[in-house]
Amino acid sequence: MRQTLSIVKIGGNIIEDSVALSLFLEHFASLEGYKILVHGGGKKASEVLNKLGIAPKMVNGRRITDQETLDVVIMVYAGLVNKEIVARLQALNCNALGMSGVDADTIQAQKRPVQEIDYGFAGDITSVNSEKMHQILQLGLTPVFCALTHDGKGQLLNTNADTIASEIAIGLSTDFHTVLYYCFELPGVLEDVNDPNSIIAKIDHTMYQKLVDKGSIAKGMLPKMHNAFASLKNGVQEVRIGNLGLFQKENKNYTTLVG
């Protein structure tokens, strides 16, 4: 029987809320078995960009990453946010290892081709080094990945954290029973975005399409759901979406996605 590996992607609103972040890290540190944490830091990056007099550039919720922006993203993601999370996990006796895709050549990507929009130094993942990640896990370490990858030619790339979590889960699904968690501020996928009690307990691909057509799933939830169903299609055993209640055994109020 394969051992369970939990891959958890933490949302930006939790990162920005010190109380919520503390509670999340306590839950994450107490997770049994192998685990990997993936985070972004877009809100903090935008805050630093504004302080430096650089206007953040967004199109349809996605960041335009020019060279100035990339420099700040690297500092914020791999430095400020990543090391704070790692330090706080160490205080909780979770032996965390701060990483990006460039470290140990774990995640390679290619610069997104220019079509209607030039996203700059945004990366689309091409490969995940699951063997190297497996070796790190076997050392008793808990990788904490920020949202950066590389192209194998010396170029760092800004990469969607939801996608990184999904691709890691897929890459390691042959070695482990992989469970992918998307943890953010909402209790799950909602039928009505204005009603936190309208949690949809289970969603398959057919229902997903209906919810998209209806407009119940839109904006930032769309890429999250797209990545989730891609992971289920490619070997991931289970995907759960919700808030901190995801990690409370007595709680059943979250959304489970099924292939």
Q: Are strands 255-257 and 238-242 parallel, antiparallel or unpaired?
A: antiparallel
* Per-residue model confidence as pLDDT tens digits over 5-62: 999 999 999 999 999 999 999 999 999 999 999 999 999 999 999 999 999 998 877 8
Summarised one tens digit per residue, pLDDT across range 175-216 is 999 999 999 999 999 888 888 888 999 999 899 888 888 877
Judged against a pLDDT cut of 90, whether residue 105 lies above it is answered with yes
257: three-class secondary structure by DSSP: strand
Give the start-to-end residue ranges of the domains of the chain: 4-185
Q: What topology does CATH give the domain 4-185?
A: Carbamate kinase (3.40.1160)
Mean local confidence (pLDDT), 244-248:
88
Residues near 73 by Cβ (< 8 Å), separated by ≥ 6?
Answer: 41, 45, 63, 65, 148, 158
pTM of the model: 0.95
Q: pLDDT tens digits for 119-164? A: 999 999 999 999 999 999 999 999 999 999 999 999 999 999 999 9
pLDDT in tens, 128-139: 999 999 999 999
